[in-house]
Amino acid sequence: MERFVNIMIIEEDDAVRNRLKKLLLGGGNNILSVKTIKDALPIIDQKEIGIYLVDIDDSLNGETNLKSIKDRSQFKNHYILLLTKENSKSVNLVKGMHQGAVDFITYPFQENIIKSKIEVFKTLYFKDQRIGQLLNNIFPENVLSELSNNGKFSPKRIENGVVLFTDFVDFSLKSKSLNPLRLIHQLERYFIKFDEIIERYNLEKIKTIGDAYMALAGVTENKPEPAIRACLAALEIRDYIQTERDIALATKTDFWEIRIGLHMGPLVAGIIGATKFNFDVWGDTVNIASRAEASTKRGTVTITSNVFAKVEPYFETVTRGKVDILKRGGAIDMYFLKSLKREFGMYSEGNAPNSELRVVCGLPSVDFKNLRTHIINQLKSLLPDYLSYHDLPHTIDVEKAVIRYANLEGIAKDDQLLLQTAALFHDAGFILQYHNNEDIGIGMVRTTLPRYGYTAEQIDQIANLINSTKSSVEPTTLLEEIMCDADHDYIGRPEYHIIAKKLREELKTNNEVFTEEEWINFQLDFLENKHKYYTETANNIRLISKTTRIKELKKQLEKLNAQ
């Protein structure tokens, strides 16, 4: 798996800076080279830098540079290495280490030592990223922030937290009859889907207990309308399990059914444990939500009167009447949550919220998840079978590439969404015709995206991104440059020859047949005379490999001509 990191060199000496950049290019290193900290700060504000190489020998600016990096960097997961002459004063190194540097590199440079040190800190950088991801999966973001700053998390009282419980019907019976491994795999598959849904509506998964799944809204996140978001998540979970059940019935296989319950009220949230931490919530609200789940019918969602009062304008419900709360005593009014009201649905049916309701809930106005599912299904079913290059895997590959470039270039999430959407549609025109397909794809964008909450301005930007992939068009914005570089990212990768072979097969089906010599010359002409990478990132991480591909093709041509 390819892994990339931004490495910044801050060095006034042009010769030193250029020599170091040349040594480190390749191997997933995106080198950002500047003379001064003043030049570096705008980049630091925008991009995540994993490793800094900073000249410490300037007695006036060396320490200031390190402090500026520490103060301005949005991302704390970085390593600073000092650049120093072999005969420099050791006091500069000591000061640099006190300011947060972790190692130093001396020049004249020893190539093997430099590369070894960079690889060590890249490994640590990626490990830090992985640890961060794991911690984010375990603790809510606000809990991690308080733990990081204070070393502890103080218990919090929440006045209106929403608790969502799910439970599979007759799970104990199924666990007796199913193979244990199959049972766990099925349960894992369902819970992974639940995690995806919960995250999309900005809820927080708390735990699973056997086949039970518990999540919260309005406790760990600062988003509006937690009750509405929790109900939207509950309906999507219910609908997903219902779809799975219908497929199982059609194929005469085993199926699972679910119960879901929600309640809203006061909670106490905190961490328990001295060595193994566990974030949890306590209070009567948890017990009532559990009772709502346990008392509902299979395949249904039950909400209490507290939730009903918050969501009634937006959802169709059916009164259940009072339901006894076991052990606690007393009873509470409950309702079946049936569906989203039509006027708030994205498509006038189903339970996907429209743009207006999404904005009310603090969600992105664009329903990218369902849009992505729609276009991938279209490509999967409608792209002609003879497309061996412009196929669905190519579209997915370009989507991954735009995400990679966007991350390395520090592109904002909203703009990254535009890039991903353009990547998914950029070859959709091949559904209808082979040549001049980009305009067909743009037409599909203009008719499809309004249904998924995209604004007219966003659609125009996406259309421009797709248009920039035409061979006759030069990109004029950074996003267009990223789009073009992503479309031809494979040219600078080791699997170039495999993908090029697919293109040759595809051209053959369109009556463009090449001899071996013609095919090599066709590739060389494109690589040397027509194609270029536009972004600094692409030139850093792909140009060396592209040059290697050109050399390989020339050797193939020489060998062919010598025969």
> For the chain, which domains are there?
5-137 (3.40.50.2300), 151-360 (3.30.70.1230), 368-562 (1.10.3210.10)
Q: ∠ at Cα 308 (306, 312), nearest 5°? A: 145
pTM of the model: 0.85
80 phi and psi, to 5 degrees? -110, 125
What's the Cα-to-Cα distance from 196 to each of 192, 200, 360, 384, rounded to whole Å? 6, 6, 21, 32
pLDDT confidence band for 252 (50 / 70 / 90)? confident
In a 13 Å sphere around the CA of 299, the CA atoms on its Cβ side amount to: 7
Name the residue type at position 184: I
| Mean pLDDT calculated for residue range 106-117 | 89
Residue 103 CB neighbour total at 10 angstroms: 15
User: What was the pLDDT predicted at 274?
Assistant: 66
Return d(Cα 422, Cα 525) in angstroms, integer: 27
> What would the DSSP string read from start to end of 428-446?
GGGGT-STT-HHHHHHHHH
Q: Which residue has the tokens 């604004």?
A: 455
User: What single string gives the DSSP state of each residue in 444-503?
Assistant: HHHHHGGGGT--HHHHHHHHHHHHTTSTT----SHHHHHHHHHHTGGGGSTTHHHHHHHH
pLDDT for 410 equals 93
Mean predicted confidence (pLDDT) in 300-321: 96
Q: What is the pLDDT of residues 157-170, one digit of tens each?
A: 999 999 999 999 98
Map tokens 């969501």 to a residue.
311
Alpha helical stretches, state H, 303-367: 305-311, 355-360
Could you tell me the CA-to-CA distances from 119 to 27, 63, 116, 124, 161 in Å, in that order? 9, 25, 5, 9, 46
Confidence of residue 350 (pLDDT cuts 50, 70, 90): confident
Distance CA 71, CA 460 (A): 38
Contacts of 521 (CB under 8 A, 6+ apart): 557
Tell me phi and psi for residue 518, to 5 degrees. Answer: -65, -40
Contact status, residue 470 vs residue 460, Cβ threshold 8 Å = no
Helix axes 111-138, 141-150, angle to 10 degrees: 120
The mean of the pLDDT values for the chain is 90
Q: What is the pLDDT of residue 438?
A: 95
Q: With a cut of 80, say whether residue 196 has pLDDT above it.
A: yes
Q: How far apart are CA 509 and CA 387, in angstroms?
A: 9
* Tokens read off for 118: 């960079």
pLDDT above 50 (res 84)? yes
Contact (CB, 8 A) for 531 and 474: no
Pairing of strands 258-272, 156-168: antiparallel
- Assess whether pLDDT exceeds 50 at residue 432: yes
Could you give the CA distance from residue 422 to residue 164 in angstroms, rounded to a whole number? 36
Burial track 203-236 (b if 16+ CB lie within 10 A, e otherwise): bbbbeeeebbbbbbbbbbbeeebbbbbbbbbbbb
- The amino acid at residue 67 is K
Predicted pLDDT at 59? 47
Query: How confident is the model over 6-35, as pLDDT tens digits?
Result: 999 999 899 999 999 999 998 899 999 999
Strand, coil or helix: 360: helix
Pairing label, strands 300-304, 258-272: parallel
Percentage with pLDDT > 70 across the chain: 95
Q: Which amino acid is at 160?
A: N
Which pLDDT band holds residue 255 (cuts at 50, 70, 90)?
confident
Which SS3 state, helix, strand or coil, does residue 531 take? coil
Query: Length of the chain, please?
Result: 563
What is the reported pLDDT for 538? 96
Residue 421 backbone class (left: φ over 0; alpha: ψ -120 to 50; beta: rest): alpha
From CA 266, how far away is CA 289, in angstroms rounded?
Answer: 12
pLDDT category at 295 given cuts 50, 70, 90 is very high
Which stretches of 286-378 are assigned E, i.e. beta strand?
Answer: 300-304, 315-324, 331-340
